[in-house]
Amino acid sequence: MVALVDAVKSGEIPASEVAVVISDKADAAGLAKAKERGVETVVITRERAEGTLADTRVSARKTREEHDAEVIAELQKRGVELVCLAGYMRLLSPLFVQAFPDRIVNIHPSLLPAYPGLNVHERVLAAGEKMSGCTVHYVNEDLDAGSVILQREVEVKDGDTVETLSTRILEQEHKLYVEAVRGIVLRRITKSELAKLPERIRYLHEVLSVGHDTSMRGEGVSLREALRRTDYENRRQKFGAADLIPIIETHRYYIQEWIMYSEDKHTSGGWWIEEKPLLIGNLKSRETISFDSTEQAIAEYVIRELDFWADLNSGRKM
């Protein structure tokens, strides 16, 4: 939880805010840490309030559905769009999952679907596994069974104990959770926002999102393959760099993302972007083009880089 809050505060997870941290335990350490960082906290215990137990047939503890309904109400009251679980050791009710479909994420200390549930490290060591890790996944009504978002492997070393293995995996959990949520935020654009955009720009946003999903987020699929998936070759004549500028102006995290992409991807014949002075250049011809605004430079760079990979896909000589 702390890693996510700090990443939002620093801008590593862009265009976001942590609306609230909720716990069922008033003494949970995470509540104090959230308050220290200026985040609102709410405690919703699993025990019924005094005065509701006159009927001896009523349990002193709320049902799972009753407790979840209270949590849902607090989240919806604040307009929460993404629910991130941290140390939440209880299955969510169907009521909760249906209230936030495909908008609840969790992190688990194994390479799911292997080793769901509790006592993961003990089971991994007992089985003699050579590799373990952690998984960020969407939450459904079953135990640790939702779609995988990201995973990271951690080697199981000779002589590892539950404590040493769990410590190394926890270090990666903090990084992976931030990376996964960052990726979700970068991909997210609301249906109402999309509806306001011309069709060609909606498609262009889809292309950029696939790029972030794959090449930029380290999921092992190249931008070249992302263009195949979105049929870029047959649709690229419908838009140009000018169509990108409105997207960049309203989703400014694209600027840093594509600058980072430029720094990482240096393919002969492709393009790169430089901030000082503001220009883009071709890695083969050494042609350079200067710009007055960052938005214009990013837009032109992206279109030229997409076209470069589309040309390679189609077999055109570069």
Identify the active-site residue in 108, 121, 205, 251: 108
Among 309, 310, 298, CA closest to 241: 298
- Within 8 A by CB and 6+ apart from 114, the residues are none
Q: Which residue has the tokens 């710009």?
A: 291
As a whole number of angstroms, the distance between CA 13 and CA 182 comes to 5
Q: Which residue has the tokens 């405690």?
A: 43
Strand partners, 187: none
Q: Which residue has the tokens 């996510």?
A: 4
Element (H, E) at 167: helix 162-187
Entry field: residues in the chain: 318
As a whole number of angstroms, the distance between CA 298 and CA 279 comes to 9
CA 293 to chain centroid: 29
Catalytic site residue 108? yes
Q: Which residue has the tokens 């140390």?
A: 87
As a whole number of angstroms, the distance between CA 314 and CA 123 comes to 49
As a whole number of angstroms, the distance between CA 180 and CA 175 comes to 9
As a whole number of angstroms, the distance between CA 95 and CA 7 comes to 30
The answer to whether residues 139 and 85 touch, using CB atoms and an 8 Å cutoff, is yes
Among 210, 202, 178, CA closest to 9: 178
Element (H, E) at 290: strand 288-290
Catalytic residue numbers read: 108
